[in-house]
Every structure is written in C-alpha cells, then in structure tokens.
Amino acid sequence: MWSLSKITDTIQNWLNQTFNPTWALIFEMLIVGVCVISLFAILGLILVLMERKVSAWMQIRLGPNRVGPKGMFQSLADTVKLLVKEGLTPGGADKLLFNLAPFVAMIVAMLLMAPIAFAKDFQMWDLNIGVLYVSAISSVSVIGILMAGWASNNKYSLLGAMRSGAQIVSYELSAGLSALAIVVLTGSLSVSDIIYSQADGWWIFKGHIPAIIAFVTFIIAVTAETNRAPFDLAEAESELTAGFHTEYSGMKFALFFLAEYVNVFIVCAIGATLFLGGWMPFHIGNWQGFNHVMDFIPSSIWFFGKTFFLIFVIMWFRWTFPRLRIDQLLNLEWKYLLPISMINLLLITAMAILKWHF
C-alpha cells in the first residue's frame, strides 16, 4: 500500500549510499526545513480559505468566489497583495523588537511541527517527551505577542498584549492537565507511543466520560491559547481595533496571521493525536473485518481528516459565539476549567490504576 514512510525510507537510503553520514544528515535537515516551510504556506492558504468559506456559509453568504474556480485562489491573491504592501514601522516603535516579533511567532509555530506524526511512521522528530515539548514550546508564543504589543508603542497593542499574556498563562494549565490525562492513561510522553496505544480504539472512546470531559476542556483551552474567538481578547477588533497587531501591515501582519492559523492546525493535530488516535484508523475491539476495511484508508488521510474536523469545530465556535470579557475569561479558567480538569485527572488516574478503561 502507498505510504509516506516508504518514500522517506527510500530518500534516506539513497542519501546514505551516496554521501557520508554527516552530509546525509545535513541534506535530510534541509529537506525537512523546506517541507516545513512549504507546509506552513500551504496550510495558511488552505485554512484562510476554509475560514472564509465556513464563515460565509454560516452567515448565509457565498464567500470568496471570484478568483479561480469557486474562489480557490483567493488566499493566494491575498498573499500577493500583502507581499507588495509596504511594511510600515511606526515612528515611536522599538524597531528591533517590532520587526522581530512576527518571526518569533512564526518560528514558535514551526518548532511545534516537529513531534507531530502526520502519517504512519512519518514524523520529523519522535522524541520521547513529545507532549511535554509541545506544551513547553507553545508557551513561548506569548512572547511574540508581548513583543509585538510592547514594541508597537500603541496603547491598544499594549492592552491586547497584556490581555494575551494573562490569557495564555492561565489556559496553559488546563490544556496541560487535560493532555496529562491521556499521558496518565498511556504511561508515555512520546507521541508515537500514544498513537500506538490507541490501536484497539481511540482514547476518547476507551476512557469513558472522563476522557470526553478532558477532550472538551482541551478544545476550550486550546481555543483560548491560540487567541481564537470567543477568546480573541488579544485582538478584539470591536474593543481594541486589532489588539497586538494594530500597527503591523504588509507581510509582517501576514506572518502573525499565518502563525495564528498554523497554531490552530497544530493544537488540533495534538488534540487529534491525544484523543482521536492521530493517524490510527478507526478500530473497534475484535471486529477483524471492519478494522481491515478501515486500514485500507491511508493513515495520512485519517490524520488530516481528524485534524480538519477539529479545526472546523474551532471555526464553528468562532462564528457562533460572542467574545468573553477579560474577567470572565479568567473566571472560566480558574473557577470552572481548572477544578474540573483537576478532578477529572484524579478520576482518570484512578481509572488507569484500576484498569477500568478498555
């Protein structure tokens, strides 16, 4: 069967035969780098278009339909527009930080790509602390936002950045706790171990109600962590015009925009990996026939299908709900999500010890 892991194996074998191991490693790194950057760009294009179409249909509109067939090249045209726009730096801004901030946001998003398993045995870096790595790196993204808000010398930007700081720091807790629930069940922090542990069923089904609660808290917390509506207080266009990126224009603005979408993709990929089995096909216990049929669907399709379903859910949130207020946002985390996920973690731990899960 066609699989991505065979392609990577072939490339690696060829490189190792032709060059000495050091050069082969350098070439592999280069190839991976190019792949990540192109995946970054493609994801940006697809997700922007998807968001615009989803919002349009929910708002009884048609959405982009002029550029290309069914408006498919709309986001490409937008990118060209943003590339030729002038990237202004405001007079009173801190030039270094102002220009650095979008790249910080983007690099963090790129780093997060490393431990994600896109298909069976198709992973950039299968490190043994994958989940920890993700939760550690994702907290760096707030630095990009704070830098942008601070360096812009704009009061709206500063307010947006401060909001975002408070928000990301608090929501990291419940995102981490709900991810921890699965780590407890699996007994491993490695992403590939977590996926292989779901070969006989995804954790959301195997873990009874506590797993579902962990899943829901995870989705809410990552929506907040990626600054998406209804938690988009850092941007809040009706309150702070555009929040931390008020002063950005042209490609620097586009990088923030891109980083947001790639972050959404990454958190959804993590969610799919932890709770929905990553690239693992849908298996039910001992139904050999059914499981066999499911195996015929390539693993990459399973992974991207689950991830895009979660992205759609997050977009659905955005186009339905009003925005929270800053104090309500923090209340939701500290009074509801955190206690719930803590008690939930206790339940899951008890379940894991007593082997109540399937």
Partner 1 sequence: MYRQTEIIKDSSEVSPGGGDLEEGGGAEFVINVGPQHPATHGVLHLVITLNGETIKKVEPHLGFIHRSIEKMCESLTYRQFIYVTSRMDYLSSHINNHGCALCVEKGLQVEIPPRAQVIRVIMDELTRIASHELWWGAMAMDLGAFTPFFHAFRERETINDIMEETCGARLTMNYMVPGGVMADIHPNFQKRVKDFIILFKSKVDEYDELVTGNVIFRNRMKGVGFLSKEDAISYGCTGPTARGSTASCDIRKLYPYEVYDKVEFEEILETGCDSFARYMVRIRELRQSIKIIEQLIDNIPEGDFQAKTKAVLKLPKGEFYSRVETARGEFGVYIVSEGGATPYRIRFRSPGFSNLSALDHMIRGGKIGDLIAAMGTLDLVIPDIDR
Partner 2 sequence: MFIVKYIKEVWGAVRSLLKGMRMTGYYFTHHKEIITQQYPDNKAILNLPERFKGEVVMPHNENNEHACTGCTACELACPNGTIKVITKFEIMPDGKKKKAIDKLVYHLELCTMCNLCIIACPTDAIKMAQTFEHSVFDRNQLTKILNNPGSKIREGVE
Residues at the interface with partner 2 (CB under 8 A): 54, 57-62, 316-317, 319-321, 336, 340
Q: For partner 2, give the closer residue by CB, 23 or 57.
A: 57
Shortest distance, position 204 Cβ to partner 1, whole Å: 24
What's the CA gap between 9 and 41, in Å, rounded?
25
Shortest distance, position 193 Cβ to partner 1, whole Å: 38
Nearest to 291, CA basis, from 299, 302, 283: 283
Burial of 311: CB neighbours in 10 Å, binned 0-12, 13-18, 19+:
buried
Shortest distance, position 236 Cβ to partner 1, whole Å: 7
Residue 250 binds which one of partner 2, partner 1, none, with CB within 5 to 8 A depending on kind?
Answer: none
Q: For partner 1, give the closer residue by CB, 243 or 277.
A: 243
Burial of 335: CB neighbours in 10 Å, binned 0-12, 13-18, 19+:
exposed
Given the DSSP bridges, would you call strands 122-123 and 117-119 parallel, antiparallel or unpaired?
A: antiparallel
What's the CA gap between 340 and 147, in Å, rounded?
33
Nearest to 5, CA basis, from 279, 351, 203: 279
Shortest distance, position 28 Cβ to partner 2, whole Å: 42
Residues comprising the chain, all counted: 358
Tally of CA atoms within 13 A in the half-sphere of 239 that contains its CB = 18
Q: For partner 1, give the closer residue by CB, 69 or 91.
A: 91
What's the CA gap between 341 and 27, in Å, rounded?
44
Shortest distance, position 137 Cβ to partner 2, whole Å: 30
Q: Rounded to the nearest 10 degrees, what angle do helices 208-225 and 299-318 cross at?
A: 70
Residue 316 binds which one of partner 1, partner 2, none, with CB within 5 to 8 A depending on kind?
Answer: partner 2
Residue 279 CA, distance from chain mean position: 16
In Å, the largest CA–CA distance within the chain is 67
Shortest distance, position 58 Cβ to partner 2, whole Å: 4
The alpha-helical segments, DSSP class H, found in the chain are: 4-18, 21-58, 74-84, 95-111, 130-138, 141-151, 155-186, 191-196, 203-206, 208-225, 237-240, 250-275, 288-295, 299-318, 326-331, 338-354
Shortest distance, position 347 Cβ to partner 1, whole Å: 25
Fill in the DSSP letter of residue 67: S
Q: For partner 1, give the closer residue by CB, 174 or 300.
A: 174
Shortest distance, position 71 Cβ to partner 2, whole Å: 12
Q: For partner 2, give the closer residue by CB, 283 or 318.
A: 318
Residue 28 binds which one of partner 2, partner 1, none, with CB within 5 to 8 A depending on kind?
Answer: none
Q: For partner 2, give the closer residue by CB, 71 or 102.
A: 71
Residue 347 binds which one of partner 1, partner 2, none, with CB within 5 to 8 A depending on kind?
Answer: none
Shortest distance, position 192 Cβ to partner 2, whole Å: 34
Q: Which residues bind partner 1 (CB under 8 A)?
A: 55, 58-61, 91-92, 94, 150, 153, 155-156, 158-159, 163, 229-230, 232, 236-241, 319-328
What phi, psi does 265 have (nearest 5°)? -60, -45
Residue 274 binds which one of partner 2, partner 1, none, with CB within 5 to 8 A depending on kind?
Answer: none
Q: For partner 2, give the closer residue by CB, 56 or 72.
A: 56
Residue 336 binds which one of partner 1, partner 2, none, with CB within 5 to 8 A depending on kind?
Answer: partner 2
Q: For partner 2, give the closer residue by CB, 11 or 54.
A: 54
Q: For partner 1, give the closer residue by CB, 101 or 189.
A: 101
Residue 95 binds which one of partner 2, partner 1, none, with CB within 5 to 8 A depending on kind?
Answer: none
